[in-house]
Structure 1
């Protein structure tokens, strides 16, 4: 983080080739952005490969999923993917979880659009058993910055 007391981030949305994507990420770093973020919406680049690709070309910015649609993911499998991604980006991963709000995306993915309470209950139950947290610690041997916050 910079000495500014807050960070500047950019949310990159446009699907592109690997070369074009990495050029945009490099430009964001050169412009001084502290965070490069990608969304989690159908029709846009998959967040984890985009983040790993951004890490290949940048060295300083944190790399973020703007808000992951938790309703699309099994908590333990997502924990595995978050831990693996964090490891591949040298600990620069940041993640926010949301319940999702675009009904058309749930329909297109053939997923029931869970109510926010259902998503929250599912995630809290998983964290209560610490299955997701144990998996993160196991993959990264305790070094992951992706943590369960109960």
Structure 2
């Protein structure tokens, strides 16, 4: 389905600067192409964190993904453009309408949450303003999309698409969403990189926090063949990613930073493939 070469990212959630620097440098040394930062008031601010990451290692950086309601469109575009300039083009701007948890956080900073339509319009306004600020230098855009309207927007505007489905979504349904995205994209389909994020990789037992992240007990998550897990030996994991690329088209794979070392042998096995 896709002959795009694999690349790999690490999604971090640091609690200290020392921890973040260690993660970024280790990711660069192990062959990851990108370090990614989620968005939420419970974490360090993403744009400042990514500026720091880009300064300590020669690696790409990206928001995964910024919640549009947490900033005005002009503010978000300004932050994104600044990182593109200061990193000399190593920044990828991931943006979405915000997970449900962001509603309370938006209220905390005094901004409106808005309807689903209004939040989509915020994303569009942000992208339009960023294009104006960028001029000839264009920031790569990642959009999280799952529903019909979000998929249509991603098909028209995104360079990278992360399919926004929960951990219990069957493989066949994710593949169907990926097909719909390509159909909507038309002539742009081959230009879109499909991303997939992993909560866990390798053979270690799943930690308790996977239930908070997925809403499902770890044992159930294992039993349902969730695409948010990648289990087995390095060779088994590499083979499974080749299957996912063939079935779904996903070639940009990110992993939770707690599994950075567990996943590293897979990068070696899939290097250049």
Q: Is the TM value for this pair above 0.5?
A: yes
Runs of 4+ in 1 over 4 A off after TM superposition: none
Mean Cα deviation higher: 99-108 or 79-88:
99-108
Gaps of 5+ in 2: 142-155, 159-273
Match of 1:120 in 2: 120
Contact 1:86 1:146 in 2 (8 A): no
- Which of 129, 132, 135 aligns to 1:134? It is 132
Q: Distance in 2 between matches of 1:50 and 1:125?
A: 24
| Structure whose alpha-carbon radius of gyration is higher | 2
- TM-superposed deviation, 1:66: 0.4
Q: Does 1:85 align with 2:79?
A: no
Q: Alignment RMSD, CA only?
A: 2.3
**Structure-2-length-normalised TM-score:** 0.46
Match of 2:269 in 1: none
Match of 1:107 in 2: 107
Report the 3-state secondary structure (helix = DSSP H, G, I; strand = E; otherwise coil) of the residue aligned with 2:35. Answer: strand
- TM-superposed deviation, 1:110: 2.7
Report the 3-state secondary structure (helix = DSSP H, G, I; strand = E; otherwise coil) of the residue aligned with 2:93. Answer: strand
Match of 1:149 in 2: 157
Q: How many residues align?
A: 139
Q: Distance in 2 between matches of 1:71 and 1:85?
A: 20
**Structure-1-length-normalised TM-score:** 0.80
Report the 3-state secondary structure (helix = DSSP H, G, I; strand = E; otherwise coil) of the residue aligned with 2:22. Answer: helix
